[in-house]
Amino acid sequence: MKKIKILNKIFSKPISCLTAYSPSIANILDGKIDLILVGDSLGSTLYGMNNTQGVTMDMMKNHGAAVNKKIKKSLKVLDMPYKTYDNKIDAYKNARILLKHCRPDLLKIEVNEKKLVVLKHLVDKKVNVISHIGVTPQSYKNFNKIKVLGKTNKEKQNLLKLAKESETLGAKAVLLECITTDTAKLITENISIPTIGIGASRYCDGQVLVFDDLINLSTNNKKPRFVKNYFNFNKIASNVVKKYNRDVKLKKFPSTKFTYD
């Protein structure tokens, strides 16, 4: 199996990545997944937001620090939240705060042509950065308006150019979100740093999903096409709750086994 290097760690290719927002989930993932991402998707996943624009530095600091306590083997990735890296000065100031409090191995920022100067500045300041291109969720107030990119030749070439520029400026990897299969393949074949896909085909060097989607923890029935449920936690947990409720009503819980003398 082919190998791939991110920072000083060697992984079997393709690399795997899942999100974690709490120590308990991080503990489950550590060492079993190559990269653990504290993503700003926690806005919708944990806080019921309609998008990621309301995620704050304090949210990322708190969840990032909590997750960091349980990660010993996997690489740690942290999203920089919306409006915290609009210019290179603010970007580095906020990056230092997150690095100090959360100790991630890499920070991830959503990149377009205007944000390349920010990417360069962070790299120049010795910050390890993942460049997130394609669909960039922080740009959307309404996720229903998100459309797959790379369908036209112009979009395809613009994404390839952005990926190449990200590599040239020193990004450690490129995350590709919601782009066509042939565009993902083209980019992966034309840059030497890893590509990590979400809704971007099997041709990427790695894949990422939100853990809550993976186990169907969310009650949101309208999930993106790229989401695969590996376990129906929602259904099983609902049955467990019903059983607990029944035991309480019938005074079967707590029995003497769960009572102090």
Q: How do residues 183-239 score in pLDDT, each as one tens digit?
A: 999 999 999 999 999 999 999 999 999 999 999 987 666 778 888 989 999 999 999
> Which among 72, 88, 63, 28 is positioned nearest to 233, based on CA atoms?
28
Residue 167 catalytic? Answer: no
Q: How many CB atoms lie within 10 A of CB 84?
A: 21
Mean pLDDT of the chain: 95
The tally of domains found in the chain comes to 2
Cα separation, 51 vs 140, in Å, equals 7
Whether residues 167 and 90 fall in one domain = yes
Whether residues 139 and 38 fall in one domain = yes
Whether residues 238 and 210 fall in one domain = no
Q: What is the pTM of this model?
A: 0.94
pLDDT, residue 97, reads 98
Whether residues 207 and 79 fall in one domain = yes
Whether residues 259 and 191 fall in one domain = no
- Which structural domain, as residue segments, surrounds residue 243? 234-261
Whether residues 17 and 55 fall in one domain = yes
Average pLDDT score over residue span 240-244? 97
Whether residues 141 and 240 fall in one domain = no
Average pLDDT score over residue span 113-125? 98
pLDDT, residue 3, reads 86
| pLDDT confidence tier of residue 2, bands split at 50, 70 and 90 | confident
Higher pLDDT: 231 or 76? It is: 76
Whether residues 130 and 92 fall in one domain = yes
pLDDT, residue 225, reads 85
Whether residues 239 and 186 fall in one domain = no
Whether residues 211 and 242 fall in one domain = no
Q: How many CB atoms lie within 10 A of CB 16?
A: 18
pLDDT digits (tens, 9 = 90+) for 14-64: 999 999 999 999 999 999 999 999 999 999 999 999 999 999 999 999 999
pLDDT, residue 222, reads 73
Q: How many CB atoms lie within 10 A of CB 158?
A: 17
- Residue from 155, 165, 177, 189 carrying the catalytic annotation: 177
Q: Is 46 exposed, middle or buried (0-12, 13-18, 19+ CB in 10 A)?
A: middle
pLDDT, residue 13, reads 85
Whether residues 112 and 66 fall in one domain = yes
Whether residues 142 and 242 fall in one domain = no
pLDDT, residue 211, reads 96
* Lowest mean per-residue pLDDT among 3-7, 18-22, 130-134, 184-188: 3-7
Q: Which CATH number do you get for residue 108? A: 3.20.20.60
Backbone angles phi, psi at 153, to 5 degrees: -65, -35
